[in-house]
């Protein structure tokens, strides 16, 4: 089996008119860094599970994406992050939701999966579990970026909550974007899927959620079968989009069923 990994940093608008050579290099380098990190593991005979973990870890570390550092703001001006991971060989899965102090939610999800007692931990319980496992805990301001703050402020001014990044385009006074990947129009849920040399599949997904979302809102990203799914018999899936719709349709599992 030829090992392969695919990554996504969220669907959205790339405005070529505003894309300088330097900016284009920055985004390409960021995605190359993510992709090559996962691919290097596969090329050395590593597992698909390790490859998607590494790729999503790197996406969470990059402030260009709505996961980990650079996550969007809730209505109350806080950050609540979700992540999940699934092993297609064993159907083992792990997830965390509404975490506010875990630097890398995908690592928390991986530890939940490896522990095996539960699939999904949320809030303070997830954070306590992650801290006990030795994962890095950070203060809320770690996730802050100026672009996300400005986006949240515009959403507040318009009185619109639960706003997907691409829907926030309507809040702009002009449709002309000033960034190469417009932070008001891109959807930032990140993810990775992979198949390793042994033919095993894996998937991982991570997100900061929806701009100006209600505190406590959880989307599809940490829900196995909705925003993430992997099964060696069929397919590996990592979703990005309107979480509520993905949950209603069980989108990731539905793709697997169709396969």
> Annotated catalytic sites, by residue?
189
N residues, the chain: 259
Instruction: Compute the distance between CA of residue 197 and CA of residue 179 in angstroms, rounded to an integer.
Output: 39
Dihedral-angle region of residue 35 (phi above 0 means left; psi in -120 to 50 means alpha; beta otherwise): alpha
173 alpha carbon, distance to own chain's centre: 29
List of residues 6+ apart from 139 with CB closer than 8 A = 101
List of residues 6+ apart from 254 with CB closer than 8 A = none
Tokens of residue 217, six digits: 């809102």
Tokens of residue 20, six digits: 């300088």
Residue 95, beta-bridge partner list = 84, 120
């Amino acid at each position: 089996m030829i090992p392969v990994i695919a990554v996504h940093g969220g669907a959205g608008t790339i405005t070529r008119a505003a894309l300088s050579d330097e900016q284009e290099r920055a985004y390409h380098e960021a995605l190359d860094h993510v992709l090559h990190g996962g691919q290097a593991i596969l090329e050395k005979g590593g597992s698909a599970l390790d490859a998607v973990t590494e790729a999503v870890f790197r996406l969470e570390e990059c402030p260009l994406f709505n996961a980990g550092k650079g996550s969007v703001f809730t209505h109350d001006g806080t950050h609540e992050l979700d992540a999940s991971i699934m092993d297609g060989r064993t159907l083992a899965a792990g997830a965390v939701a509404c975490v506010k102090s875990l630097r890398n939610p995908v690592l928390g999800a991986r530890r939940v999966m490896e522990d095996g007692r539960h699939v999904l931990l949320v809030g303070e319980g997830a954070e306590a579990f992650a801290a006990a496992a030795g994962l890095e805990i950070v203060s809320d301001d770690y996730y802050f970026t100026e672009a996300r703050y400005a986006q949240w402020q515009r959403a507040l001014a318009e009185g619109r909550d639960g706003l997907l990044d691409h829907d926030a385009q309507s809040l702009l006074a002009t449709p002309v974007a000033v960034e190469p990947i417009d932070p008001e129009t891109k959807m930032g849920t990140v993810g990775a899927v992979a198949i390793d040399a042994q033919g095993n599949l894996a998937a991982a997904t991570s997100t900061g959620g929806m701009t100006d979302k209600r505190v406590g809102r959880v989307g599809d990203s940490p829900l196995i079968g909705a925003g993430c799914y992997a099964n060696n018999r069929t397919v590996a899936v990592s979703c990005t989009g309107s979480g509520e719709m993905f949950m209603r349709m069980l989108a990731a599992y539905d793709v697997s069923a169709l396969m």
